[in-house]
Structure 1
Amino acid sequence: MLARDTLTGSRIRERRVAQGIKQADLAREAGISASYLNLIEHNRRRIGGKLLLDIAEVLSVEPALLTEGAGAALIASLRETASDIPQANAELDRVDEFAGRFPGWAQLLSDCRQRITALERNVETLTDRMTHDPHLATSLHEMLSTVTAIRSAASILAEPGEIDPDWQARFHRNIYEDSARLAETSRGLVTYLEADDETATETGAPQEELDAVLEAAGHHVPELERGAPEQQALERLGKGLSAAARGLLQAWLHRYAVDAMALPIEHFAPLTERFGSDVAVLARSSGAEPTRIMRRLAAMPTDILPDPVGLAICDASGVLSYRKPLPDFPMPRFGAACPLWPLYRALNRPMVMLSLPLVQQGRAGVGVWAEALATPIGGIAVNSDPIFEAHMLVRPMPLDQDNLPIPEDVGLNCRVCSKPDCHGRREPSILTSSG
């Protein structure tokens, strides 16, 4: 594995040169410096996670082609295809022979699996949106109310007998105005449903606006790392936000600034280079609170933390107040997440860090390592129970540990989870016929 990993940079350079892309242009598209890309291409820096995905997207190739080469990527894809349908009893010991004798059919199976995976993720996103999107629910409610009003007025006009001309004119005017409102609502709904994910988020709830801003910024605020005023970052990132979303952003920036002051990036970066993203080890080495370590890891750019981490934060009600998903561990944009996540389990065991491997249903065995911790908000309460906030950091599965435990199966949320006989299920899944 190590030998293949060391060739990733060389493959990136070969693809870039073959396509006639300048090193500076590729670095700019990937969001890194040309000098850092030069180190990667000469195999002097490791690459993975979001940065690898971004570079692969710019080069229009599959990430596996850069990390393992075409033959290994195809065989790995066939193995994942077989693991998705274990009841087929595919002969895994002969997968190399199959790929060698029938490369066309092997590539077809691999492409079909990729297409199915993409469609499944689209279903997850659309179902999540249809079920929990507040903008969509409001629009549909308004349409139904308007249709009911039009029908009521029309039924009165259709009744036998004479109607006073003034009342008749009033009913006609009401029908005309309600019809115009219905047409406007319908046009807005069609536009919203046809919009891409980013546009839909911009028209959603304040929390969705905040999520979109943080995603666009990479969850990293350079000016706060330098000690600049919070207002400066707020003016840059808060353009076009609603007042409510701007308030959420201001609170997030204040917390970011406090974390950056307590654990400066110039002190934290060497620790991540030495210990990686292990929260417990970093907390012991730095003396910082584990939850602060989690937030700082989530804020690190890819040139400092090549393998990015994901982070979810929820309050005592279970609502996600912060979300930074990973490609191998998506997080719901609307509504509640899977009740089996350690994020929620930590609320039942406050001040105890839970550390375990997880794998999401439908992710073909791609697991992550999760650390979750619930801590009280504010100081010590007098004659009152504290309110807890839970953090859950997810990071790539450790590769240098022996006898790792079997990952626990979790889902995205109940609506799009096919896990059978789940004791935490709160609603039927659309992915199973039995529900």
Structure 2
Amino acid sequence: MAERKLIAGAPIRRLRRRAGLSQAAMAEMLGISPSYLNLVERNHRPVSATLLVALAEQFDFDPRTLAAAEPGGGAAAIRRRLADPMFADLEVDRAEVDEWLAAAPGGAEAFARAFDRAGGGEAGVAVSDPVAEVRREVERWRNHFGDLDALAESLADDLRLAAADLYGAMIERLRVRHGLSLRILPVDVLAGTLRRLDLHARQLQLSEALDHPARCLAVAVELARLEARTEIEALARGAGFADRVAERLMRRHLAEYFARAVLMPYARFLRACEGSGYDLDLLTARFGTGFEDVAHRLTTLGRVGARGLPVCLIRIDRAGQASYRFAGPTGAPMVAAAGRCPLWQIHHAFDRPGTTLIQRVELEDGTRWLTLSRAVAPPAGAALGVAAGFAIGLALPVEQAGGLAAARGLDLGGPATPIGLGCRACLRADCPQRSAPPAGRALLVNDREQRASAYDFAGD
């Protein structure tokens, strides 16, 4: 973060006001002059590395959130929105975007919100998209809900005291405390349903098609709905969704969050991550969970004073459609963008089931990432007659990936695959994989030449 200019006046001003401090008082705490703090808050000066350290020490927060809090997600995110064909005739260059963010951050943020609310950047997305609304709310929380984590950790401790077998302890708690028994039913009886709560029979009914990790998660989700109902309801209603469907989706996300926090309690899971180098196979075996559940849990480690690595996650199908994504505090562009690059090996994971593909990639803005991709199958897909499959992609900036087990033996500074954010948003020339010209760029057609790329286009 310290290698580039970070303009973050608005979040620093909000931080000062929440603390009830004047500029002079905050400047004294940070060891800087009030005039310098004034310039920083007005976006006339970037935030230095020294100031970042002082802010973290005095106010106990994650400095990475300042980068994520840049108006509209920062210059790169604003440029992605301006790549929409409706702005093609304006030819707004990088310098203009930087000047706009510095001079009028509020205006840039307003533009970004209006563009996103109208479904810009994702063709075919309706103005009211409950899935997108929930995704924005989860991103706003950085996918860390401290109260839920603390409650889940306490429940996990109680269950461990009750029995060594967590699955059995959860079933017993449902029976004794909530009067619910567990029943495993044949696939044809549940007729396509994987989990059903039958209040008349006081049963939690699970399909026999679910494997053991999936059954554990299903039981933990039911415990979440019963024992964390107040906290989940407060978070879902506090989001202020206009759409009741979005509120229900948020409740589902929070219940699954709580369930994974019970199966992988925060402190124990973080210690295991740090001790193993975030070895995904080892974590899966140690906690008895599925690969996808471990991947999701990695994105939630945001506890103040005990943070994990800023892992981002995306889940796609064979057509490249994203069914879940979390860009995290780094705002990972390859996750946040509507499109994806076929040169990213996440698309190859389907052809190598059970194998984690490790790849160094470099985006157009020069940032480099280490990515891990693996194919996963729904626990009951084959049993229900559908050979469904998804690929999970995890990404981390290479400068933070040195301690990963997956990075052992890799030269993180070595060659990286140049990828874009989908052909319509990518300006890399001479890419033989290009399937469409970039939006807003004039096509160049020369009958006397044939280049490696199917489309040649005008530059800046």
State the TM-score, normalized to the length of structure 2. 0.52
SS at match of 1:378: coil
Query: Does the 8 Å CA contact 1:213/1:237 hold for their aligned counterparts?
Result: no
| 2:78 corresponding residue in structure 1 | 122
Query: Does the 8 Å CA contact 1:371/1:394 hold for their aligned counterparts?
Result: yes
Q: Distance in 2 between matches of 1:306 and 1:248?
A: 26
The 3 A distance-change label for structure 1 pair 332 and 218 is closer
Q: Distance in 1 between matches of 2:68 and 2:347?
A: 34
The 5-angstrom pairing of residues 24-423 of structure 1 reads: 41=57, 51-54=62-65, 121-127=77-83, 195-198=110-113, 200-201=115-116, 204=127, 205-225=129-149, 226-227=151-152, 228-230=227-229, 232-238=231-237, 239-241=239-241, 242-283=243-284, 286-301=287-302, 303=304, 304-305=306-307, 307-325=309-327, 327=330, 329-331=332-334, 335-360=338-363, 362-364=364-366, 366-379=367-380, 381-382=382-383, 384-397=385-398, 398-399=401-402, 401-404=408-411, 406-423=415-432
* Pairwise CA distance, 1:376: 1.0
Structure in which a larger fraction of residues adopt helix: 1
* Pairwise CA distance, 1:371: 0.8
Query: Does the 8 Å CA contact 2:341/2:422 hold for their aligned counterparts?
Result: yes
Query: Does the 8 Å CA contact 2:346/2:392 hold for their aligned counterparts?
Result: yes
Q: Which amino acid aligns with 1:236?
A: L
SS at match of 1:368: strand
Which protein is bigger by CA-based radius of gyration?
1
Q: Distance in 1 between matches of 2:288 and 2:422?
A: 35
Structure 1 stretches of 4+ with a deviation exceeding 6 A read 37-40
Q: Distance in 2 between matches of 1:399 and 1:373?
A: 20
* Mean CA deviation greater in 199-208 or 390-399: 199-208
Q: Distance in 2 between matches of 1:267 and 1:332?
A: 28
| 2:436 corresponding residue in structure 1 | 427
Q: Distance in 2 between matches of 1:402 and 1:271?
A: 21
SS at match of 1:394: strand
The 3 A distance-change label for structure 1 pair 272 and 130 is farther
Q: Distance in 2 between matches of 1:353 and 1:251?
A: 28
Q: Distance in 2 between matches of 1:253 and 1:130?
A: 37
Q: Distance in 2 between matches of 1:277 and 1:51?
A: 20
Query: Does the 8 Å CA contact 1:417/1:431 hold for their aligned counterparts?
Result: no
* Pairwise CA distance, 1:343: 2.8
Structure 2: segments with no counterpart, 5+ residues: 1-26, 36-52, 88-106, 119-126, 153-226, 443-455
* Pairwise CA distance, 1:253: 2.3
Query: Does the 8 Å CA contact 1:234/1:250 hold for their aligned counterparts?
Result: yes
Query: Does the 8 Å CA contact 2:339/2:421 hold for their aligned counterparts?
Result: no
* Pairwise CA distance, 1:393: 0.8
Per-residue CA shift, 1:116-144, capped at 9, x if unaligned?
A: x965542212335969xxxxxxxxxxxxx
The 3 A distance-change label for structure 1 pair 20 and 367 is same
State the TM-score, normalized to the length of structure 1. 0.54
The 3 A distance-change label for structure 1 pair 55 and 17 is farther
SS at match of 1:195: helix
Query: Does the 8 Å CA contact 2:30/2:55 hold for their aligned counterparts?
Result: no
SS at match of 2:431: coil
**Superposition RMSD in Å:** 4.1
Q: Which amino acid aligns with 2:429?
A: P
The 3 A distance-change label for structure 1 pair 130 and 354 is farther
* Pairwise CA distance, 1:233: 1.7
Query: Does the 8 Å CA contact 1:208/1:333 hold for their aligned counterparts?
Result: no
Query: Does the 8 Å CA contact 1:369/1:396 hold for their aligned counterparts?
Result: yes
Query: Does the 8 Å CA contact 1:316/1:387 hold for their aligned counterparts?
Result: no
The 3 A distance-change label for structure 1 pair 248 and 346 is farther
Q: Which amino acid aligns with 2:378?
A: I
The 3 A distance-change label for structure 1 pair 130 and 286 is farther
Query: Does the 8 Å CA contact 1:358/1:368 hold for their aligned counterparts?
Result: yes
| 2:157 corresponding residue in structure 1 | none
Q: Distance in 2 between matches of 1:301 and 1:120?
A: 24
* Pairwise CA distance, 1:354: 1.2
The 3 A distance-change label for structure 1 pair 19 and 222 is same
Query: Does the 8 Å CA contact 1:234/1:253 hold for their aligned counterparts?
Result: no
Query: Does the 8 Å CA contact 2:318/2:390 hold for their aligned counterparts?
Result: yes
* Pairwise CA distance, 1:220: 1.2
Q: Distance in 2 between matches of 1:328 and 1:213?
A: 14
The 3 A distance-change label for structure 1 pair 286 and 390 is same
The 3 A distance-change label for structure 1 pair 417 and 372 is same
Identity fraction in percent: 22
* Pairwise CA distance, 1:294: 1.4
Query: Does the 8 Å CA contact 2:314/2:393 hold for their aligned counterparts?
Result: yes
Per-residue CA shift, 1:253-290, capped at 9, x if unaligned?
A: 23222211211112102123334444345445545433
The 3 A distance-change label for structure 1 pair 328 and 258 is closer
SS at match of 2:298: helix
SS at match of 1:18: coil
